[in-house]
Amino acid sequence: MGFDFDSATRRRLGYRLIDQIDAYFSSLPDRHVQLPADERTFGTLDDAMPEIGEDPGKVLDEICREMVDKGFNVPSANYFGLMNPTPTYMGVLAETLVAALNPQLATLARSQLASKIELETVRWIGERVGWPGAFNGTFTSGGNEANFSGLALALAAKFQKAVDDGIAVIGAKPVAYASAESHHSLDKSAGLVGIGRKALRRVAVNDDAQLDPGKLEQAISEDLAAERIPFCVVATAGTTNSGTVDDLVAISEVCRRHNLWLHVDGAYGAAAIFSDKHR
């Protein structure tokens, strides 16, 4: 069967998927997180690539069954492992619409409303943060890409010639700082932007599991004495392990004294800015 379905087939499959999703949402208060240990399978799929497509209804039912009944159900009310929430149903519908439209967001001329929605939503975030003036940015696929983007921006801001000529023109070793509790994606990002994973200083935390501003100041002083070039501090608004929010005010004061870029990893806890009570 081909991929170009007629209207009746599209509607039939669409309603079938909606029914599957609705049943899944209804089951979440009592659904198991995963199968008992002796029933889980981790083997590879070794089927040969098919020459023709199977019946789409059959494939849809099988995929839903395998992913729901045998999958790892993070949205379940019984899951307490990490911070992953149950998706909002409007979000599910919006993702479906976006997948169908497949907008191109490279330029406003090509995307029109989609890019305007992104810019407006980013502006709303700036307003909730309390940013004084123009605010801009983009959405990323997740915290990993966001941390990489933050380090890349910090490098570009501190070492502008490096954008065209590479980090070799910096002349000395650039270093960045993050707490011992911050996300492991920062190490990968340091490697990917070219400064090397060893250039990320893991600073000790205090008794509240926050990045210790005093230890941060000490690490910066030691690097300056060794003729390295500090350029960025990463604070965390909600660590993955405990949800701890670093002392952003104290850390920003250290950054201001040393003219360092401050990147805040808020993938977990920064959504608190949308709460009038907790922000």
Mean pLDDT per 10-residue interval, the chain, length 279 residues? 86 96 95 91 88 90 92 90 85 93 82 86 92 89 93 96 92 96 95 96 96 97 97 95 93 97 92 87
Q: Which residue has the tokens 């060893």?
A: 198
Do residues 167 and 155 lie in contact, with contact meaning Cβ atoms separated by under 8 Å? yes
pLDDT of residue 103: 84
pLDDT of residue 105: 76
Bridge partners (DSSP) of residue 232 are: 176, 261
Q: State residue 196 phi and psi, 5-degree precision.
A: 90, 145
Quote the tokens at residue 173.
Answer: 């070793």
The rounded distance, in Å, linking the Cα atoms of 263 and 253 is 13
Do residues 172 and 231 lie in contact, with contact meaning Cβ atoms separated by under 8 Å? no
Nearest 5°: the CA angle 219, 195, 252 is 40
pLDDT of residue 250: 97
pLDDT of residue 1: 59
pLDDT of residue 110: 83
pLDDT of residue 51: 87
